[in-house]
Amino acid sequence: MKSIKKQITCIFLCAIFSLFITPQLGAQQDVPQEVIKAAQEGLPSFLESLSQKIVTKNTSSMLPVPDSAIPSIPSLKVTHGFNEDDPLDEAYLGEPFKLYLLTNDAILNYTKDSNVTSVLSQTDEWYFPVMIGEEAKSILKVAKLQGSWQAGSFGMGEAAVELGKIRKQWPIDKGYTPLLVECYAASGYLFTVPQYDSKNLTVITPPWMIMKGEEADKDYSKLEDLDSVIEELKSKIE
């Protein structure tokens, strides 16, 4: 009898405990396990490459200039979005964004009775924010190449910061799964939150504007109207 009570108590406690376990990466947006595995296997090698030093020496024999006069080159950590003192051994993968395309044809053929998902084309790419603490520092891209998922590139520090802001504003634990949209007419990226409504499409501040200090603190809680954004994009194509 005591054995049965212990088993019942154990089952009850396990059920309670399971409510507080953080969901697995990608579980709330049906990310294929092959995609997650490719990201998890690819991240360590990319992080290890950031520890390499960029060596610059004055090799000119004709103009003897001291090394101290040569402009310093940012480290690989910095050029990939991290700070010099960021502990790379604490880096981890954040919830990924599925990448979609908004083509010129879709923009030109758009009608106001369309919704946002009807004008987007799917891709075989996922963007994983690489996190230190609660901050997105870089992006690891995973794509299907020759039939298998592979971690293909790493970087885009400025874009990672913007994706981090979007994820904080539209958190996955509240049921939001923003979709990332690449658009050549916009010369950058946009995003949409399908759980909000079917008529939102918001421009993400492009990296070149962030580096110039323009719109660096864009409020992503204010979603932009699909019709208005498409009309603006049409004007850039026609």
Report residue 211's pLDDT band, with 50, 70 and 90 as the boundaries.
very low
Q: What is the pLDDT of residue 66?
A: 52
d(CA 105, CA 31): 28
Residue 16 in this model has a pLDDT that exceeds 90 = no
Q: What is the pLDDT of residue 172?
A: 92
d(CA 156, CA 201): 21
Residue 156's nearest CA partner among 98, 214, 79, 84 is 79
- The owner of tokens 């790493």 is 154
Q: According to the CATH classification, is domain 29-50+66-237 in 1.10.3210?
A: no
More confident of the two residues 105 and 27:
105
Tokens of 88: 């790379």
Q: Which of 78-82, 144-148, 224-228 has the lowest mean pLDDT?
A: 78-82
27 Cβ contact list (under 8 Å, min separation 6):
none
Phi-psi domain of 147 (left: phi exceeds 0; alpha: psi -120 through 50; beta: other) = left
Residue 167 in this model has a pLDDT that exceeds 50 = yes
d(CA 140, CA 133): 17
Largest alpha-carbon pair distance within the chain?
93
Q: Please give the model's pTM, rounded to 2 decimal places.
A: 0.79
pLDDT, tens digit, 9 for 90 and up, residues 56-82: 454 444 445 454 544 556 788 888 889
For the chain, the domains span 29-50+66-237
Buried b (16+ CB within 10 A) or exposed e, 21-41: eeeebbeebebeeebbebbbe
Report residue 30's pLDDT band, with 50, 70 and 90 as the boundaries.
confident
How do strand 179-183 and strand 97-101 relate by DSSP bridges?
Answer: parallel
Report residue 124's pLDDT band, with 50, 70 and 90 as the boundaries.
very high
Residue 133 in this model has a pLDDT that exceeds 60 = yes
Report residue 12's pLDDT band, with 50, 70 and 90 as the boundaries.
very low
In the three-class reduction of DSSP (H, G, I as helix; E, B as strand; rest coil), residue 72 is classed as coil
Report residue 174's pLDDT band, with 50, 70 and 90 as the boundaries.
very high
DSSP per-residue codes, 23-68? PPTTGGGT--HHHHHHHHHHHHHHHHHTTS--------SSS---GG
Percent of the chain with pLDDT over 70: 74
In the three-class reduction of DSSP (H, G, I as helix; E, B as strand; rest coil), residue 123 is classed as strand
d(CA 167, CA 99): 15
